[in-house]
């Protein structure tokens, strides 16, 4: 049996919001873990919330990233390697396929399933294969123009791969649709599900300039979070209703609508069937008829992980229990709350630690701040 302080977790892209949520969700159980962070940015405060941190190439660098992660696995012997950004998911799946001897410690599924999580066009095809409710998703200008004829403008343009609303645009006209496809090779388009009642007023052309900040009020983002185990079983499902500002969640509450949970269960069964393992996040909208339609999947912990833990869904403990069954990692005690609000936190950036990472590629807490 592992010692209480001997659960070694390697967090990839430790500077990401989802990684910070994992650390926050661990909370008072931090003494039971050795946290090893990997990041492509040396002067990120998140590096120094870990016990050990390493500088690595960006996850998009291909072979260089895979080789560096494989090196860290060999050197640090983590019990679990946790992807914290979408690019990490696919990289780990490819790593497990190339080096089967490390596959058991990687929190990811098959390469095919990872592509479903990492590519919104593939996500739509996955949903169609399993007859799951998913937003129409197209990746050519001709299909987008047809979508504009069958759905009310504006449409939503997104990168095929990406997160946190980066690169998301409103396509308000045929001209904007055509220009978007002419200038971007990674574009997919979906209908604008559940738009605000005053959408037209919100997107009127700005004749005196564009606002420096702009986002729609988002108060009806539904979600499912579940953990799919290596034994093809899955956890209870968490249903939530989130409020977002500028693409970031500011509040989340439980939503136990049986219809929502049933849709989440269907996605879980389908994802298991295609080889997915680990966290699964489904984001959905609700139609005026009360039906739930998904528009995005994530195969990792997210920016709501810590909030869901406070609401009684301890997904970090679910992962540790299912993938490391002999680990001593008790669930977080439940709290009598219904809503969690998110606020910014402040963390120091270690000057000496940044120099260590830049010069040697490694920092250890034992070296001090």
Beta-sheet strand order (sheet of 187-191): 169-171, 155-159, 187-191
| Dist. CA 285–CA 308, nearest whole Å | 19
Per-residue CA distances from 285 to 43, 184, 197 (Å):
38, 26, 15
Could you read off the pLDDT of 204-217 as tens digits, one per residue?
666 677 777 777 77
How are beta strands 218-228 and 278-286 bridged, if at all? antiparallel
Whose CA is closest to 296, among 167, 117, 42, 140? 117
Could you read off the pLDDT of 104-119 as tens digits, one per residue?
999 999 999 999 999 9
Structure tokens at 365: 């807490």
pLDDT the model gives residue 63: 93
Could you read off the pLDDT of 79-93 as tens digits, one per residue?
999 999 999 999 999
CA atoms within 13 A on the CB side of 147: 26
8 A C-beta contact, residue 199 and residue 170? no
> How many percent of the chain have pLDDT more than 70?
93
Could you read off the pLDDT of 243-261 as tens digits, one per residue?
988 777 889 999 999 999 9
Could you read off the pLDDT of 127-171 as tens digits, one per residue?
999 999 999 999 999 999 999 999 888 899 999 887 656 778 889
pLDDT the model gives residue 1: 44
What letter would DSSP give residue 299? -
8 A C-beta contact, residue 263 and residue 321? no
pLDDT the model gives residue 161: 83
Q: What is the longest distance spanned by two Cα atoms in the chain?
A: 67
Could you read off the pLDDT of 328-353 as tens digits, one per residue?
999 998 888 999 999 888 999 999 99
Tell me the average pLDDT across 222-244.
96
Looking at the DSSP assignment, which residues form a beta bridge with residue 252? Answer: 242, 340
Per-residue CA distances from 355 to 44, 227, 350, 363 (Å):
12, 38, 9, 9
For residue 197, pLDDT beyond 80: no
Structure tokens at 267: 């996605």
Per-residue CA distances from 295 to 17, 88, 99, 292, 332 (Å):
21, 21, 33, 10, 31
For residue 34, pLDDT beyond 80: yes
| Dist. CA 103–CA 294, nearest whole Å | 30
Could you read off the pLDDT of 39-88 as tens digits, one per residue?
999 999 999 999 999 999 999 899 999 999 999 999 999 999 999 999 99
Whose CA is closest to 193, among 152, 243, 139, 225? 152
Which segments of the chain are extended strands (E)?
7-12, 33-39, 52-55, 80-82, 155-159, 169-171, 187-191, 218-228, 238-245, 248-254, 278-286, 292-298, 339-341, 362-364
For residue 277, pLDDT beyond 60: yes
Instruction: Annotate 310-333 with DSSP letters as a single string.
Output: HTT--HHHHHHHHH-TT---PPPP
pLDDT the model gives residue 200: 67
For residue 10, pLDDT beyond 50: yes
| Structural domains in the chain plus CATH codes | 7-109+347-367 (3.40.50.20), 136-192 (3.30.1490.20)
* Low-confidence winner among 15-24, 177-186, 188-197 (lowest mean pLDDT): 188-197
Structure tokens at 52: 């050990």
Give residue 369's pLDDT band: very low, low, confident or very high (50, 70, 90): very low
For residue 203, pLDDT beyond 70: no
| Dist. CA 336–CA 203, nearest whole Å | 41
| Dist. CA 193–CA 43, nearest whole Å | 39
């Amino acid at each position: 049996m592992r010692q209480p302080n001997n659960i070694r977790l390697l967090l990839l892209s430790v500077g990401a919001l989802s990684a910070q949520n994992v650390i926050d969700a661990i909370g008072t159980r931090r003494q039971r873990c050795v946290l090893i962070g990997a990041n492509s940015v040396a002067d990120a405060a998140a590096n120094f919330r870990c016990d050990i941190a390493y500088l690595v190439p960006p996850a998009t660098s291909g072979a260089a990233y895979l080789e560096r992660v494989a090196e860290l696995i060999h050197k640090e012997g983590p019990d679990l390697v946790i992807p914290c950004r979408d690019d990490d998911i696919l990289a780990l799946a490819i790593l497990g396929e190339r080096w089967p001897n490390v596959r058991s410690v990687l929190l990811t599924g098959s390469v095919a399933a990872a592509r479903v999580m990492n590519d919104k066009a593939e996500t739509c095809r996955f949903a169609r294969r399993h007859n799951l409710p998913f937003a129409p998703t197209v990746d050519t200008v001709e299909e987008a123009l047809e979508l504009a004829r069958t759905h009310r403008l504006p449409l939503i343009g997104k990168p095929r791969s990406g997160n946190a609303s980066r690169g998301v645009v409103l396509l308000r006209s045929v001209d904007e649709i055509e220009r978007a496809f002419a200038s971007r090779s990674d574009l997919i388009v979906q209908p604008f599900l559940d738009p605000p009642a005053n959408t037209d007023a919100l997107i009127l052309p700005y004749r005196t300039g564009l606002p420096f900040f702009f986002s729609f009020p988002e108060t009806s983002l539904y979600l499912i979070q579940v953990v799919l185990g290596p034994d093809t079983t899955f956890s209870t499902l968490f249903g939530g209703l989130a409020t977002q500002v500028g693409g970031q969640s500011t509040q989340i509450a439980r939503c136990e609508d049986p219809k929502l949970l049933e849709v989440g269960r269907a996605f879980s069964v389908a994802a298991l069937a295609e080889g997915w393992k680990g966290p699964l996040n489904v984001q959905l909208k609700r139609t005026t008829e009360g039906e739930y339609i998904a528009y995005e999947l994530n195969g990792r912990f997210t920016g709501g992980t810590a909030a869901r833990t406070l609401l009684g869904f301890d997904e970090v403990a679910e992962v540790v229990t299912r993938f490391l069954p002999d680990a001593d990692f008790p669930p977080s005690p439940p709290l009598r709350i219904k809503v969690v609000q998110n606020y910014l936190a402040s963390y120091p950036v270690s000057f000496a630690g940044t120099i260590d990472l830049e010069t040697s590629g490694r920092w250890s807490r034992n070296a001090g701040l």
